[in-house]
Every structure is written in structure tokens, then in C-alpha cells.
Amino acid sequence: MANSNFKRVFPNPMSIFKTLNFKMLVFPSRKSRLARALTIEDLRKIAKRRTPKGPFDYTDGAAESESSLDRTRNRYKSLQFVPSILRDVSKVDTSVEVLGEKFALPFGIAPTGFTRMMHAEGERAGAKAAEKFQIPFTLSTLGTSTIAEVVDAAPSGRNWFQLYMWRDREGSMRLVENAWNAGVRNLILTVDVPVAGARHRDTRNGLTIPPSLTIRTLIEAAPKVEWWWNFLTTPELRFASMSQWKGTVAELLDYMFDPSMSFEDLKWIRRQWKGTLSVKGIQNVDDAKKAAQIGVDAIVLSNHGGRQLDRAPIPLELVQQCRKLLGKNVEIHIDSGITRGSDVLAALALGADFAYIGRAYLYGLMAGGQEGVERSLEIMTNEITRTMKLLGVS
């Protein structure tokens, strides 16, 4: 053993204790739990721990093999940025103007169904968080809050409404009129649901709306006390647009979704709706062209988050083709598979005008209600700002 030239001193026990930095064992608060989440994936992990399997899988899953979702996410990961150096990025502008309005960020919250099933605060939490971050919030036809409740929660927010065209056209128009009377000025018509997709996770879980209390769910719910407490002590979970519906969820969807819907129906909606009209679910260039010719204000390139057609096209791969075809005459929006701020910027770099997040917001909601949604938006905002600076874009 080599001789050392210094004298060793046995350390003081207190100095060891201070170095190890032991802390008192405390149960984390919601605020501290959310603060430790650095990515949307971190929020997803928290959400999975705190939410029963049925509601979590409803959010997390996709159709059949789930390949549409996997391929869509992997396409974002495969892209490479080309940064520019020595640019002044001391200040960056993340704002965009779409559909005649200016928003603080280049993305909004997508329409999601059954939202209070994920967390009792539901759409109200999403709308209030969106209002705070100055981005649009979109209420779904299958939402669990009315448009009036959303507007009441976020009176200064930019609240939009998403429509599924029902077999009952008059019923559809009543929803549209209610939205207009509540101050909604952008309608998003979803067109990729002639029938519901086959989401095998939901079938295997025996998912019902509202979730039913069975021996299986009671055992599985044991560590999810907060979720069940909220579920049992807050207003009954219901479809706000179909509050009088007495049938099953499957019967409701069969009643709602119209497999006979055509471009003639899109023309009819365009004539009826006085505000801006976006068409969600465009998955090929020819359909984008037809929608533009009818006079829509925006197309939303979307494979429904992989929840409808298995092996569906990847929306990101359509952006440049649609931009070349449509020019600047129609706005190009995009959703599906977006879980990072850099995903949003990648879509914009290819030619999109705007993006939407669905699961990314719902993971935050399940992780911590409105605070969780705000954390998801904060994460996305930080990622966008940091990536812009690293790219040399201001």
C-alpha cells in the first residue's frame, strides 16, 4: 500500500450526517408531487398511480394494436432539428395568431370525452388552466360539463366547442346554438368517427360510464382512495350534452355517430355556422382539398390520437403536402401523439399553424386536478421556450 503524504483524520459523526443530507420523512403534498414532474411522461406515471385502471387506460390506450399511436409518437422522435448559432434569443415570442385571435402559445387543449371520469374537476380544470395560460380550451360533445359550466369556470377564456354530427341533425344544431349563445366562436367538427374504434383495453377492463363498483374495481381501487372519494362525493358523472340518456355507452355512441355523414353535411354545417369552422380528422390530401373548397377556416390533421383506425396515417407526415396544396388559404392544425413542446415546434417547422394536446393535458388532470393541468401546460411552455432558444429562434 502506498504511503500518503497527508495525515488522515477520522470524520466527525455530525459532519457525516450533514453530508448525507438526511431529511425528515414527510408525505408529499400535491404541489410538491407535481413540482417534481419534469416531463409529461412524469405526469403520466403519477396519473397511473393515482387513477383506477379503467379511467387511466381509457386515456392512455388506443385502438386495436395501438400501432397508430406508437408510430405517430415515434415519428416525432425521429425528426432532427437544425439549430442556428449566435442569434439573440434573450427574449423569445411564443405567441401565434390563429383563426383571427392571438394566443400566448402555439397549442391549445383538444376536446376529450368523459373528462370528469379522469378527475372530478374535469373540464372546468382544463378551461381554467387554459384561461390562465391564454390558450384555447375545446369542450367535447362527449364532455361531462356543459358549455355554460365551462364559460362560468373560465369567463375570460377562449372556449371552443367540438361537434360530432348526430343522426339527429336537429339535436346537433341545438348543441351548436347553445355554444354560439354561450359565446363560442370556433366550432370544431370531428369527421373521423363513422363508428367507434375498437379500444381493447376498455373492453378488457369492462369499462362503464360511470365506472361501476364491483368486487374487482373495489380491490383495484384500494390505493386510489382520493379518486374514489371524489367520485362518490361530487355530482354524478354524466354526458352533459345527453343528460337524459338512459341507455348504455355503446348504445349512445351507436345513436350519436352517423356512418352516412358526407361532404354534403359539411357544406350544410358551413352554411349554418356563423363563426370559424375547423374540420378535425383529415388524414389525406384529397380530403384536405375538398374541405378547403367547401370553405372551412382550418383543417385539423388528426388520427384521433390513434383511437379510431389501426394503422392510420401519421398526421405529421401530411403537413408539408397539405401546406403545398393549400398555401395560406386555410390554416393547418394538428394533433395526435404530441407530448413535448419540441413536438409542437416540429409541427410548426414543417408548416402547421397550430397544435392541440389531449393526453398530455389529461395526464396532468389525473395527476392533480387543475394544478396538474397547469403543471402540464407549464412543462410544455418551458420546453417550447428552451427549444426555441437552443434553435436560435426568437
| Residues 6 or more apart in contact with residue 46 via CB below 8 angstroms | 33, 34, 37, 363, 366, 367, 368, 372
What is the SS3 string spanning 63-77?
CCCCHHHHHHHHHHH
Amino acid at position 278, single letter: S
118/366 Cα distance (integer angstroms) = 6
Residues with catalytic function: 304
Residue type, 90: S
| Distance between CA atoms of residues 185 and 159, nearest Å | 8
> Is omega for the bond preceding 210 within 30 degrees of 0, making it cis?
yes
Whose grid coordinates read 483524520?
A: 9
Among residues 130, 136, 132, which one has the least CA distance to residue 102? 136
Calculate the alpha carbon distances from 270 to 96, 186, 317 in Å: 25, 12, 27
**CA nearest neighbour of 376 among 121, 58, 39, 128:** 39
Provide CB contacts within 8 A for 296, sequence distance 6+: 266, 270, 277, 278, 279, 330
d(CA 380, CA 339): 8
Cell representation of residue 259: 356512418
Dump the DSSP string for 296-347. -SEEEE--GGGTSSTT---GGGGHHHHHHHHTTSSEEEE-SS--SHHHHHHH
Please, are residues 14 and 190 in contact by the beta-carbon 8 Å criterion?
no
3-state secondary structure of 191: coil
Q: How far apart are CA 321 and CA 288, in angstroms?
A: 10
Amino acid at 372: G
- As beta bridge partners, residue 356 has 108
Residue count (the chain): 394
